Amino acid sequence: NAGVTQTPKFRVLKTGQSMTLLCAQDMNHEYMYWYRQDPGMGLRLIHYSVGEGTTAKGEVPDGYNVSRLKKQNFLLGLESAAPSQTSVYFCASSYSALATDTQYFGPGTRLTVL
Amino acid sequence: LAKITQPISMDSYEGQEVNITCSHNNIATNDYITWYQQFPSQGPRFIIQGYKTKVTNEVASLFIPADRKSSTLSLPRVSLSDTAVYYCLVGPRRGGNKLTFGTGTQLKVEL
């Protein structure tokens, strides 16, 4: 049982390049989340999904797109990377959206945009 | 969304009790309070959750006063391995995009 995994672990992009971050969970969770973590700002929600085929915007969605074609996978895309998107990205999943349900986090992806 | 503030950092010594307070002045009636712990190069992991009064589990206690405008995570007898960033999370029972993390508190435990 791997829990939540993220690929890649590290990535360096040039401004304007695109990339996709992959999140996978093997806990059969309905809900999945993408956060970004920046110094002094904690974790901010980018997008989330309440189930296969559905996605919704979080607090800071601009510049990102997501897809949830399979229940176990949640993809985060950057179509045209900008230096402001340099951050550590975390994926999380939970059984439901209830605040009483624990969110399980992946190990993170450190992205640098030059 | 709830506005959440935490101290940036705290220092302690092994064996001491550490109390980390989270301020959430505009917490809503149906909001829950959850605390997560994060070690370097890892994702956050759940520590404890509560709605009101006091909750205790095997690793921590959570104190929530009657007005619920703040909450305090209490770590008894900390050790070096408790050095981490601690996040307060506030949000309604059906969270979704209304769950808000605090900015985190870096706890450093020394010998």
Asked whether the beta carbons of residue A42 and residue B34 sit closer than 8 angstroms, the reply is no
Q: For residue A95, what pLDDT band results from cuts at 50, 70 and 90? A: confident
Give the up-direction half-sphere exposure of residue A65: CA atoms within 13 A in the CB hemisphere.
9
CB within 8 Å: A105 and B93: no
| Separation CA A25–CA A74 (nearest Å) | 9
**A105 in Cβ contact with B44 (< 8 Å):** yes
Helices (H), chain A: none
- Asked whether B64 and B74 are in contact (CB, 8 A), the reply is no
* pLDDT tens digits in sequence order for chain B, 111 residues long: 557 999 999 999 999 999 999 999 989 888 899 999 999 989 999 999 999 989 999 999 999 999 999 999 999 999 999 999 999 998 876 666 677 889 899 999 999
pLDDT tens, position by position, A10-48? 999 999 999 999 999 999 999 999 999 998 888 999 999
Facing B87 at nearest CB: one of A4, A43, A108:
A43
User: B68: helix, coil or strand?
Assistant: coil
Helix, strand, coil tally for chain B in percent (to 5)? 5, 50, 40
